[in-house]
Amino acid sequence: MSIRKKIKRILTLALTASLCSVMTITAFADEPYNSYSYDSWEQPIPSQSAYRISATITGYELGLSQLRDPSSPYYVSDDAVVTLSGAKDLFCDEDAREFWIADTGNHRILRTNEDFKLIGVYYGVSGDSEINKDEATGLSNFNEPMGLYVKTSMYTNEKMVYIADNKNARVVKAKLTTANTLELVQEYTKPEKELYTQTTFNPSKVIADNAENVYCVVTSVNTGAVMFARDGSFTGFYGANRVEVTAKVIAQTLWRKIASNDQINAMERNVPAEFNNFDIDSEGFIYTVTEKGNTSTDAVKKLNSAGYNIWDNNAGNEYKFGDITDAVWDSVSNKKHNKMLTDIVIDKFGRMNVLDFETGRVFQYDKNANLICIFGTKTSSADQRGSFSQPNAVETLGENVYVIDGSKNDITVFTTTTFGQQVHKAVNLYDEGKYTEAVPYWNNVMDRDGLYTLAYIGMGKASLNQEKYTEALDYFKTAYDRKDYDKAFKYAREDFLREHFTAIIIIILVLIALLIVRKILIHKGIIVIHERERI
């Protein structure tokens, strides 16, 4: 056996051993993956499942067969497609508890209630538009709609639907007139301004804020989201990413200093990766995700209305999203990791759900980017429920999480387990600063998963609030939270000094007295020091 073979063998063995230790096998689990989490050393450790798969919704469950049924109000034609096809976006209207699906491959928008029963299908918008006009119906048809956003207008109190109509090179703002018809309100097309230098305008994602400014992610525009005012005028770009500093970029910057103009023009330009998706929370902050493989710069940003990343500070720079280690994630294909964060959604509790396209995992964080749980997968056995092939979008309604798959053409519904519910209750209280109220829930969490780091930090903060410092120190040490330990230690030390003040003073005084006595004795010649003897 050659040495290389031997090394290979040892490596394989070590890898298997580490895999075995990382991923425990739970024989009764429903999910086609092993739940895990990250510990304080940023290494994967097994965890309890916080979510379980409760249903998968396909075209059949949606009731798309009604599209072929002449007696149904949703009847389209006898050969209408009754499955989803390459669906790119899913949106949940939390107030109305309705879902909107961008059925991209079939060029239509579907609207369902919270149980995913069809309540509307839209192939185009009526109104004053010349783009992709259908002579038969008089509608301006959609062409690969890729993004969706629904919001009730604060001006007119009507339900507005924003659609990123990709191949038609426009963003449509339409209002819902009847259950089955959309009427065009405003059309946002390619800005005819010098500032917009791209030749194409293919919007893929869209959101709108309270003032009905429309933000859209446009394919191959890396200067940020394209922003339109309510009246349809182009107002600029919003929240561009920064260039990731790599060795290559630094080398190029140096070369540029000495190269001639012609040479510089021939060089590859250092441009930032564009962000691919975003979401807006109830307070109006916009969260962006960048899909570029393994990018560390601006992978997830939280932007204020001026487009400034408010996580661009010491605390924010330590936030980590997606998988941290390059763990081997598919034991069959032995594929290595290349995280691609494709979608983000902020639920009404302020929790962030980030979807990794490459691994099919949903990472749930609280509002301070503490990891709550990880679920979903994309193994080679993509046929199983809960494992994805092309996870395109993630959505939430209440505690539930929904993931739409553009290849399996279905929607997977994740509901919380008892463990997940306890974690959510505890985290909500924790984020509000109600550390003491969260204690019973943290206890429940720890009963189910003794390796849940956040539980120990929560318990520690509760103890700190109740001035039980030694207990707090213990919890923080277990969680390996050095920062909070330091805070607790400051109080613990103060407490200790106050309690033992007299004893400490007495010891110091006695020591000083002993020294003085010794000096006197030496001086009088009673103690003789033999240290130095002159020769």
Partner 1 sequence: MYEYSTIGWLKHCIFHPVEGFEDLRWKKKGSISVAITIVAFLFIAMVVDHQLTGFAYNENYVKVFNVVPLLVQSVVYFITWVVGNWALCTLFDGEGTFKRIFIYSAYALVPYIVCTFIAVILSNVLVTEEAIWITAVQWLGLGWSLILMIQAMRAAHQYSFTKTLISMIFTVVVMLLILFLAVLLISLFQQLYVFIYQIYTEILYRVRG
Part of the chain binding partner 1 (CB under 8 A), chosen from 306-314, 342-350, 357-365, 487-495:
487-495
Q: What is the DSSP letter of 232?
A: S
The sheet carrying 286-289 orders its strands as 277-280, 286-289, 300-303
Member of 9, 242, 493, 500 binding partner 1 (CB under 8 A): 493
Helices 453-465 and 435-448, packing angle to 10 deg: 150
Residue 224 to residue 198: CA distance in whole angstroms: 13
Residue 359 to residue 32: CA distance in whole angstroms: 13
Give the tokens for residue 221: 């525009």
Part of the chain binding partner 1 (CB under 8 A), chosen from 107-115, 343-351, 461-469, 483-491:
483-491
Residue 421 to residue 439: CA distance in whole angstroms: 14
- Residue with smaller CB distance to partner 1, 171 or 492: 492
- Residue with smaller CB distance to partner 1, 329 or 485: 485
Q: Burial, 478: exposed, middle or buried (Cβ in 10 Å; 0-12, 13-18, 19+)?
A: middle
Part of the chain binding partner 1 (CB under 8 A), chosen from 262-270, 391-399, 475-483, 513-521:
475-483
Answer whether 93's CB lies under 8 Å from 99's CB: yes
Give the tokens for residue 277: 């998706």
Number of other residues whose CB lies within 10 A of the CB of residue 128? 9
- Residue with smaller CB distance to partner 1, 39 or 209: 39
Answer whether 488's CB lies under 8 Å from 460's CB: yes
Shortest Cβ 472–partner 1 spacing (Å):
12
Q: Does 489 bind partner 1 (CB under 8 A)?
A: yes
Query: With CB under 8 A, what is the number of residues at the site for partner 1?
Result: 17
Q: Does 532 bind partner 1 (CB under 8 A)?
A: yes
Give the tokens for residue 242: 């920064």
Shortest Cβ 8–partner 1 spacing (Å):
14
Q: Does 528 bind partner 1 (CB under 8 A)?
A: no
Chain positions 81 to 120 lying near partner 1, rule: CB under 8 A, are none
Q: Does 485 bind partner 1 (CB under 8 A)?
A: yes
Q: Burial, 344: exposed, middle or buried (Cβ in 10 Å; 0-12, 13-18, 19+)?
A: buried
| Nearest residue to 277 via CA among 379, 404, 184, 188 | 404
Q: Does 9 bind partner 1 (CB under 8 A)?
A: no
- Residue with smaller CB distance to partner 1, 257 or 498: 498
Answer whether 479's CB lies under 8 Å from 461's CB: no
Shortest Cβ 91–partner 1 spacing (Å):
43
Q: Does 6 bind partner 1 (CB under 8 A)?
A: yes
Member of 486, 504, 509, 515 binding partner 1 (CB under 8 A): 486
Residue 134 to residue 126: CA distance in whole angstroms: 10
Helix (H) or strand (E) holding 13: helix 3-22
Shortest Cβ 460–partner 1 spacing (Å):
12
- Residue with smaller CB distance to partner 1, 256 or 490: 490
Strands 89-93 and 225-228: unpaired
- Residue with smaller CB distance to partner 1, 39 or 330: 39
Q: Does 524 bind partner 1 (CB under 8 A)?
A: no
Member of 257, 498, 523, 534 binding partner 1 (CB under 8 A): 534
Q: Does 283 bind partner 1 (CB under 8 A)?
A: no
Q: Does 531 bind partner 1 (CB under 8 A)?
A: yes
Distances in whole angstroms, Cα of residue 378 to Cα of each of 23, 138, 386: 16, 42, 8
Part of the chain binding partner 1 (CB under 8 A), chosen from 164-172, 196-204, 428-436, 527-535:
527-535
Shortest Cβ 458–partner 1 spacing (Å):
19
Part of the chain binding partner 1 (CB under 8 A), chosen from 23-31, 45-53, 287-295, 525-533:
525-533
Q: Does 482 bind partner 1 (CB under 8 A)?
A: yes
- Residue with smaller CB distance to partner 1, 130 or 531: 531
- Residue with smaller CB distance to partner 1, 90 or 479: 479
Shortest Cβ 314–partner 1 spacing (Å):
14
Answer whether 73's CB lies under 8 Å from 62's CB: no
- Residue with smaller CB distance to partner 1, 196 or 489: 489
| Nearest residue to 124 via CA among 76, 158, 73, 87 | 76
Residue 364 to residue 369: CA distance in whole angstroms: 9
| Nearest residue to 405 via CA among 469, 360, 444 | 360
Helix (H) or strand (E) holding 291: none
- Residue with smaller CB distance to partner 1, 242 or 493: 493
Number of other residues whose CB lies within 10 A of the CB of residue 428? 18
Member of 11, 21, 41, 174 binding partner 1 (CB under 8 A): 41
Q: Does 467 bind partner 1 (CB under 8 A)?
A: no
- Residue with smaller CB distance to partner 1, 497 or 514: 497
List contacts with partner 1 (CB under 8 A). 1, 3, 6, 41, 477, 482-483, 485-486, 489-490, 493, 531-535
